[in-house]
Chain A
Amino acid sequence: SQTIHQWPATLVQPVGSPLSLECTVEGTSNPNLYWYRQAAGRGLQLLFYSVGIGQISSEVPQNLSASRPQDRQFILSSKKLLLSDSGFYLCAWTPPNTGELFFGEGSRLTVL
């Protein structure tokens, strides 16, 4: 069966520090991968999605970037965090042609 994991679960970082959140999927190949951010009262905002290794599409211009160095690995990064980057970040994947997302456990980032 397929599983998705992301880490760390919680992270407290000072403004201006770098960020790296990792996500891996097991039990499938060539998944579509996604990074969402969840803010209170604003639902889920799609940040990045990837249909293959090295293929990243950005939905929202911002201080973050994403990379997909391996088929089942998706990384969310920042060189210098801003206060506004605080939030709950969710990684997700979809099997082809279903539209159905499977989510990771989430990473709560607090920037101080």
Chain B
Amino acid sequence: QVQVQQWGAGLLKPSETLSLTCAVYGGSFSGFYWSWVRQPPGKGLEWIGEINHGGSTNYNPSLKSRVTISVDTSKNQFSLSLKSVTAADTAVYYCAREDLVGATNAFDYWGQGTLVTVSS
């Protein structure tokens, strides 16, 4: 059974760097892409970016200049860094596994979510 657990700082000041880590237990880590998705309070879902075990990444163009996603295959972990945060970055951040389900790339396992609040 795949389990996805995430952690990181929940309160940041403007201009600081957001850092979150996601660990995967059970199942294969190397056979998948792993993503970060965020959700501002009361709003919809926004994809941030993805990484595979080899370190290949893709980012949402709207966040690309501030985002870095990295991987530690020895620990089956991947991490999100978002620099120069503002109040607009306040959201619940999720990590998730992507799978090719049929012919559709979809997210089948999710972390529990981390609320990150940016406030002075």
A is bound by B: no
